[in-house]
Chain A
Amino acid sequence: MIRKLKKEEAEKLMEEMNLQYDSQLKEEGLFLSKDEKRESRKIFLYTGDAIPNVPAEWTGQHYCTITGDKMIIPSIEGAQAIGKTAKKTIDLDYEQAKYVMSGRDVEVAEEKEGGYYILKTGRDVLGVGFVEGRKILNRTPKSRRTMQQYRTI
């Protein structure tokens, strides 16, 4: 079941997302909420002119997931949007980016406060990772991983 978010709900979502990732994103489009009865629910962004009158399996773009404890976890596409202005980011070199996109955890030189971060390499946003100490736990969906194999670093 999909529900359109009211304007104030969408504004609140953006506000919380900006707070969580220290960003200043203003998104245009219609936000839709799915799986509202589950502990985690998915939020979709739809930029079409109208919602068509057909039986839908999927509408728009999976933008983020809101967990039971109110954490907002952006999809790769949501992260690509918010990552333009976010400051809660971790910059990786291209070799580390390849590991992330192949589904591996990576370690960084500097210990960070735990939680979700936007992962970037240069200006490219890779999605999010969950940081525990120096380790970035992989959150790349299986369907978006490269099949190339890399050693763990």
Chain B
Amino acid sequence: MGINRDFEEYHQRLYNDYDRFISALRKPQRTSIRINTLKASREKITGFLEKNKVAYSQIQWCLDGLWIDSSFELDTVEHQLGYYYTQNSSSMIPAIVLAPVPSDYVLDLCAAPGSKTTHIAQLMQNRGVIVANEASFVRVRALVINVQKAGASNVTVSRRDGCGYEKYGQRFDKVLLDTPCSDIGTARKNPQVIQRWTLDRVKKLSSLQKKLITSAYNCLNKGGVLVYSTCTTSREENEDVIEYLLKKNRDAALEEIKIPGIKARNGLTEKTRECARIMPQDNDTESYFIAKIRKEE
């Protein structure tokens, strides 16, 4: 497949090590799972993998995450019973950065298909409150199936436009906005996302992301934490969105992200240095961008 010239030129300007970046994107995606501790113990799942002679190793930044041999057929009885969830290793990071506790009220504003919702539910041990919202009728079905399968019983699913969600009046201690994006992080699994990439589409997505982050921030209690994440690389969808929020809200403060076990690069601009950029050439993962913002008291 030929390279998209616009994509190439844009990313060559973005990264000094573009060649390493594109080489990493061309490698097949590594397979990873998250043990669902609401239903199964670590010993049960590692025992199951060992019985099936599946090589596995620990994902350093997620206690319940395992790398597993990609030749293993993941669609098993145990998977359908909800004992483990197949999830990209980088996408385990946002819930860890959000760090929910069992007494929290949490909003997952763009929640389908439910990877992070179910991760949050297990971190909260099925207590507190989780609202998982998804605008798409089709995607909300996948969300409900995954919430059910995970045994997450503290989740309320809503199907509303994420923009203007504050109008329902409910306020939250923690909000996760894992927003729709140009998906370059999924290129190792879906190489066609590179071919589809255009700056025009990125700008349209950036406009939507600014509306969504405003809504997410307005849903926060004072002192609350917003985690903004995307699985993509463009500045317009990441740092520009964070700068927009910081400019519009004087009580918004960016916090440093520390994720032991993973190499994270700083945000690309002076005002967004505390953000984390996860790069495939650094960690053999998908690309990810994560920002943590506190609404000051």
Cβ contact within 8 Å between A60 and B155: yes
Contact with A along B5-47 (1 / 0, CB 8 A): 0000000000000000000000000000000000100000000
Min distance, Cβ A145 to any Cβ of chain B, angstroms:
7
Q: A54-B170, A55-B168, A143-B145 are in contact. Are A48 and B73 (CB under 8 A)?
A: no
Query: CB distance B79 to A146 under 8 Å?
Result: yes
User: In the complex, which residues of chain B have a beta carbon less than 8 angstroms from the beta carbon of A50?
Assistant: 129
**Residues of A with C-beta under 8 A to B99:** none
Evaluate contact between B168 and A47: CB separation under 8 angstroms. Answer: no
Q: How many residues of chain A are within 8 Å of chain B by beta carbon?
A: 37
A62 at the B interface (CB under 8 A): yes
A61 to B146, CA, bound (A): 11
**In the complex, which residues 108-153 of chain A have their Cβ closer than 8 Å to any Cβ of chain B?**
121, 124-126, 143-148
Mark interface residues in A53-76 (1 if CB within 8 Å of B CB, else 0): 111111111100000000000011
| Chain A residues with CB under 8 A of B200 | none
CA distance A149 to B112 in the complex (A): 28
Which residues of the other chain, A, contact B128 by a CB distance below 8 angstroms?
48-49
Given A48-B128, A77-B148, answer yes or no on A60-B80 (Cβ-Cβ < 8 Å): no
A121: chain B residues at CB < 8 Å are 77
A79 to chain B, nearest CB (A): 10
> Contacts A47-B153, A75-B148, A77-B148 given: A54-B80 contact, CB under 8 Å?
no
Contact present for A55 and B129 (CB under 8 Å)? no
**Docked-complex contact A97 and B77, CB < 8 angstroms:** yes
Which residues of chain B are near A48, meaning CB under 8 Å?
126-130, 153-156
Which residues 73-90 of B have a CB within 8 angstroms of A? 73, 75-82
Please, which residues of chain B bring their CB within 8 A of the CB of A76? Answer: 81-82, 149
Where the two chains meet, the residues of B that have a C-beta atom closer than 8 Å to any C-beta of A are 39, 73, 75-82, 103, 105, 126-131, 133, 140, 144-145, 147-149, 151-160, 168-170
Give A94 to B77 CA distance when docked, in angstroms.
9
Question: Which chain B residue shows the least CB distance to A121?
Answer: B77
Question: Does the CB pair B140–A148 fall under 8 Å?
Answer: no
A19 interfacial by beta-carbon distance below 8 Å = no
Residues of chain A with a CB closer than 8 A to B169's CB = 53
Contacts of B148 in A (CB 8 A): 61-62, 75, 77
Q: In the complex, are the beta carbons of A52 and B105 less than 8 A apart?
A: yes
B39/A80 in contact, CB under 8 A: yes
Q: Which residue of A lies closest to B172 (CB)?
A: A52
- Inter-subunit contact B79/A29 (CB<8 Å): no
B160 touches A124 (CB 8 A): no
How far in angstroms is the closest Cβ of chain A from B274?
A: 30
Inter-chain CA distance A49–B156, complex, in Å, is: 12
Given contacts A49-B103, A62-B148, A80-B39, contact A147 B155 (CB under 8 A): no
| A residues less than 8 Å from B130 (CB atoms) | 48
- The docked-state distance in angstroms from the alpha carbon of A51 to that of B154 is 9
Whether A101 is near chain B, meaning CB under 8 Å from some CB there, is: yes
> Which of A52, A97, A98, A148 has the most B CB atoms < 10 Å from its CB?
A52
Q: Per a CB cutoff under 8 Å, which of B75, B82, B156 touches A54?
A: B156
Give Cα A51 to B130, complex, Å: 9
Tell me which residues across on chain A come within 8 A of B81, comparing CB atoms: 76, 80, 101, 124-126
Q: Roughly how many angstroms separate A98 CA and B79 CA in the complex, as a whole number?
A: 11
Report the separation of the CA atoms of residues A76 and B147 in the bound assembly, to the nearest whole angstrom: 13
Smallest CB separation, A100 vs chain B (Å): 8
Chain A residues near B126 (CB-CB < 8 A): 47-48
Q: Quick check: B157 and A101 within 8 Å, CB to CB?
A: no
Q: Which residue of B lies closest to A45 (CB)?
A: B153
Residues of A10-66 contacting chain B, CB below 8 A: 29, 45-62
Complex interface: chain A residues within 8 A of B145 (CB): 143-144
How far, in angstroms, from A47 to B82 measured CA to CA in the complex? 18
B144 contacts A52, CB within 8 Å?
A: no
Do A53 and B144 contact each other (CB < 8 Å), given the known contacts A47-B126, A146-B79?
no
Name the CB-closest residue of B to A124.
B81
Which residues of chain A are near B39, meaning CB under 8 Å? 80
Q: Nearest B residue to A97 by beta-carbon distance?
A: B77
Q: Are B160 and A80 in contact (CB under 8 A)?
A: no
Partner of A101, one of B77, B105, B154, B156: B77
